[in-house]
Structures are given as C-alpha cells and as structure tokens.
Amino acid sequence: MKITNESDYEKASERADEIFGAKKGTPEEKELQEILKAIKDYEDDFIRMLKDNE
C-alpha cells in the first residue's frame, strides 16, 4: 500500500481508526499494520519535502 496524496492519507487514517483494536492474527490486524506503515512513509516523505524546501 502506498499513499500518494492528502485524500488517500485521510482515507487511510479513517480506516486505521476503524480497525485500531484489531485482534492479533486477524486480517484486520494485517491490514492495520500495512496502513500504519503507509501512513508513516507518507508522513516521512512530507517532512523530507518540507526540509528540502527550507
């Protein structure tokens, strides 16, 4: 999963909120881990972009 824009970021954040309490070993837990990684990658890219523009 890759987040490429603000709209995708918002949708991913909402979905992460929905399944945040997913039980270990469930498909929702796997989905949550993928979403959280994609969110972190997007935020890291955004911060990097801000620093590059300073």
Sign of CA dihedral 9, 10, 15, 17: positive
The whole-model pTM stands at 0.86
Please report which helix (H) or strand (E) contains residue 47, including its range. helix 27-52
User: Looking only at Cα atoms, what is the longest distance across the chain?
Assistant: 43
Do the domain assignments include residue 41?
A: yes
Structure tokens that stand for 30 in this block: 């796997």
Residue 53's pLDDT band (cuts 50, 70, 90): confident
Other CB atoms closer than 10 Å to residue 15's CB: what's the count? 15
pLDDT in tens, 4-50: 999 999 999 999 999 999 999 999 999 999 999 999 999 999 999 88
Number of domains forming the structure of the chain = 1
- Domain assignment present for 48: yes
* Residue 1 in domain: no
pLDDT of residue 54: 79
Expressed as residue numbers, the domain containing 40 is: 6-52
